[in-house]
Amino acid sequence: KQEVTQIPAALSVPEGENLVLNCSFTDSAIYNLQWFRQDPGKGLTSLLLIQSSQREQTSGRLNASLDKSSGRSTLYIAASQPGDSATYLCAVRQTGANNLFFGTGTRLTVIP
């Protein structure tokens, strides 16, 4: 069974810093990988999706990379802002499957 791990569990940074969130998965036979953001008491907002054949995707200040062979993905956030404070979840979709396997998330706090 696919297992997804996110490190660190929590992270606090001052405003303006660049930061990296890490995601690792045990089974490299993936179809795609999605990064989500979850604000307290809210649902999930999709940030970036990387196909298994891609190495990275960018959206604004966000850049997600994928190294399928080593079972790793990173989410890079540039010039962090207080509004970036949220829990970030990584989710993997296996080849031949439909559902997502989620990590436990990284709770990010950006201090003004």
Partner 1 sequence: GAGVSQSPSNKVTEKGKDVELRCDPISGHTALYWYRQSLGQGLEFLIYFQGNSAPDKSGLPSDRFSAERTGGSVSTLTIQRTQQEDSAVYLCAAGSYEQYFGPGTRLTVT
Interface with partner 1 by CB under 8 A: which residues?
A: 32, 34, 36, 41-46, 49, 89, 91, 97-105
C-alpha torsion sign, points 68, 107, 89, 112: negative
- CB of 35: closest distance to partner 1 in angstroms? 11
Q: Toward partner 1, which CB reaches closer, 71 or 105?
A: 105
Q: Toward partner 1, which CB reaches closer, 19 or 44?
A: 44
At 44 the three-state DSSP class reads: strand
- CB of 78: closest distance to partner 1 in angstroms? 23
- Please provide the DSSP assignment of 42-102 as one string: S-EEEEEEEETT-SEEEETTEEEEEETTTTEEEEEE-S--GGG-EEEEEEEEETT--SEEE
- CB of 104: closest distance to partner 1 in angstroms? 5
DSSP 9: S
Q: Toward partner 1, which CB reaches closer, 7 or 79?
A: 7
- CB of 43: closest distance to partner 1 in angstroms? 4
